[in-house]
Amino acid sequence: MRTQVAIIGAGPAGLLLGQLLQRAGIETVILERRSADYVLGRIRAGVLEQGTVELIARAGCDARLRVEGLPHAGVNLCFGGRRHRIDLAALTAGKEVVVYGQTEVTRDLMEARAAAGARTVYEAAGVHLEGFDRARPVVHFLKGGIAQTLECDFIAGCDGFYGVSRQSVPEGALETFERVYPFGWLGLLADVPPANEELIYVNHEDGFALCSMRSPTRSRYYLQCAADEKVENWSDQRFWDELRRRLDPEAAAALVTGPALEKSIAPLRSFVAEPLRFGRLFLAGDVAHIVPPTGAKGLNLAASDVHYLSEALIEYYGEGSSAGIDAYSTRALARVWKAERFSWWMTSLLHHFPENGRFGHRIQLAELEYLVSSRAAAASLAENYVGLPF
């Protein structure tokens, strides 16, 4: 098999890159380790920045997003038992975010790819990258137990944090930066109307909580939990009781409970690998950087990498210029680090850190008070939350 760009991973990064390149007349093949149903079954992100929405539109995949996506012009911070609204639109000259599940983004991209007749190999096992330091890279893999090779001009590693692409880079060529937080998020998805029409981020002395949603009839809630917590220890009833306890009285009274459709624990981590290019291999999305979900930036960062990388490859094939691919790593990383900073800051502000003691909690409360009483402080949060420009 031969193609122009081999893409490893059919998550949002790989699918979006595939669609943008396809529309520019550049041929791609995607190799995905899992089945399409498995990929669609992973419940993850929910908040899209305007830049991400525009990129999905450029990929021609925004028809359902325009109808079903929920624009949010504000976000709420709850602390000391009281809720305060940050008016995102007023603080950013009219910018908003859109609540639309990652599973839906993925489904729309998969359908567009199938309709365009572009090739995706699901359940591709043993993916192995070779020769990306030379002119003709090759990807080896097994499909149905049969060994296959994919020759290409470039490889885009979009295979997530545990993917093979980053691990294929020779030791010493990569510098990594990491912080692992001493807690996780226990998430619950249920077909109940959201407790509030906008998101609520909660600082409670017993731990962070978040009220989010997927639609007017489907809610997504999170609770800070111990890093080694077991999901089996959390009955639906225990989850709802603990969530209600952490909310302000109005949200607690509005909370509608129901059976969980999904319940899972995610660890929290900050991670960056540099650079994002090794000869003819590029890294994009979670394979190269992880943020704790507090700032809702993971999927949006995958999209911004894809923005820079797709422009670079389109310039290369269209104009024969390598300027974009040479600049890719530096351009993408500049934005990555700003989102790393914001996600780390939101996490530090809202979670319970036992090691920081009562002093640490009071400092958090003072900063939250400052945020909701100073237009300058609120504007900084808002500008980052809606997404910095590409």
Q: Per rule CB under 6 A, is residue 34 in the interface with ligand RFL?
A: yes
324 binds, among ligand PHB, ligand RFL, none (CB under 5 to 8 A by kind): none
Task: Give the one residue of 157, 285, 324, 387 binding ligand RFL; rule: CB under 6 A.
Answer: 285
Q: How far is the CB of 8 from ligand PHB (least distance, A)?
A: 25
Task: Give the one residue of 95, 297, 331, 351 binding ligand RFL; rule: CB under 6 A.
Answer: 297
Q: What is the Cα–Cα distance from 284 to 281, expressed in whole angstroms?
A: 10
Active site annotation includes 308: no
Q: How far is the CB of 314 from ligand PHB (least distance, A)?
A: 31
Under a CB-based contact definition with an 8 Å cutoff, are residues 88 and 96 in contact? yes
Count, residues near ligand PHB per rule CB under 6 A: 9
Active site annotation includes 263: no
What are residue 212's DSSP bridge partners?
A: 220
Sequence-separated (6 or more) residues with CB below 8 Å from residue 338: 384, 388
CA-CA distances (angstroms) from residue 62 to 81, 108, 112, 197?
38, 8, 10, 23
Burial of residue 148 (CB within 10 Å: 0-12, 13-18, 19+) is middle
**Among residues 12, 72, 222, 263, which one is catalytic?**
72
Q: Per rule CB under 6 A, is residue 33 in the interface with ligand RFL?
A: yes
Q: What is the Cα–Cα distance from 46 to 44, expressed in whole angstroms?
A: 7
**Among residues 293, 316, 328, 351, which one is catalytic?**
293
> Crossing angle for the helix pair 12-23 and 298-319, nearest 10 degrees?
30
Q: Per rule CB under 6 A, is residue 220 in the interface with ligand PHB?
A: yes
Q: Per rule CB under 6 A, is residue 347 in the interface with ligand PHB?
A: no
Q: What is the Cα–Cα distance from 23 to 157, expressed in whole angstroms?
A: 20
Q: How far is the CB of 48 from ligand RFL (least distance, A)?
A: 7
Q: Per rule CB under 6 A, is residue 61 in the interface with ligand RFL?
A: no
Q: Per rule CB under 6 A, is residue 9 in the interface with ligand RFL?
A: yes
Active site annotation includes 338: no
Type of residue found at 67 = V
Task: Give the one residue of 299, 312, 313, 349 binding ligand RFL; rule: CB under 6 A.
Answer: 299
Q: How far is the CB of 369 from ligand RFL (least distance, A)?
A: 26
Nearer to ligand RFL, 269 or 361 (CB): 269
Q: Per rule CB under 6 A, is residue 270 in the interface with ligand PHB?
A: no
Active site annotation includes 221: no
**Interaction mask 181-210, ligand PHB, x per CB under 6 A:** ------------------x-----------
- End-to-end C-alpha distance for the chain, whole angstroms: 35
Task: Give the one residue of 19, 21, 26, 32 binding ligand RFL; rule: CB under 6 A.
Answer: 32
Task: Give the one residue of 187, 194, 324, 387 binding ligand RFL; rule: CB under 6 A.
Answer: 187
Q: Per rule CB under 6 A, is residue 308 in the interface with ligand RFL?
A: no
CA-CA distances (angstroms) from residue 266 to 147, 229, 263, 269, 285?
34, 10, 10, 9, 18
Sign, Cα dihedral of 122, 124, 125, 127: negative
220 binds, among ligand RFL, ligand PHB, none (CB under 5 to 8 A by kind): ligand PHB
Q: Per rule CB under 6 A, is residue 294 in the interface with ligand PHB?
A: yes
Element (H, E) at 348: helix 323-350
Under a CB-based contact definition with an 8 Å cutoff, are residues 89 and 95 in contact? yes
Task: Give the one residue of 137, 160, 285, 293 binding ligand PHB; rule: CB under 6 A.
Answer: 293
Active site annotation includes 100: no
Burial of residue 198 (CB within 10 Å: 0-12, 13-18, 19+) is buried
CA-CA distances (angstroms) from residue 300 to 135, 147, 289, 293?
31, 35, 12, 11
Task: Give the one residue of 24, 266, 377, 379 binding ligand RFL; rule: CB under 6 A.
Answer: 266
Task: Give the one residue of 5, 31, 156, 209 binding ligand RFL; rule: CB under 6 A.
Answer: 31
Strands 218-226 and 175-190: antiparallel
Q: Per rule CB under 6 A, is residue 47 in the interface with ligand PHB?
A: yes
Q: What is the Cα–Cα distance from 342 to 120, expressed in whole angstroms?
A: 35
**Interface contacts to ligand RFL, rule CB under 6 A:** 8-14, 31-34, 39, 44-47, 102, 124, 127, 158-160, 163-164, 185, 187, 266, 285-286, 293, 296-300, 302
- Any idea which residues carry the catalytic annotation? 72, 201, 293, 297, 385
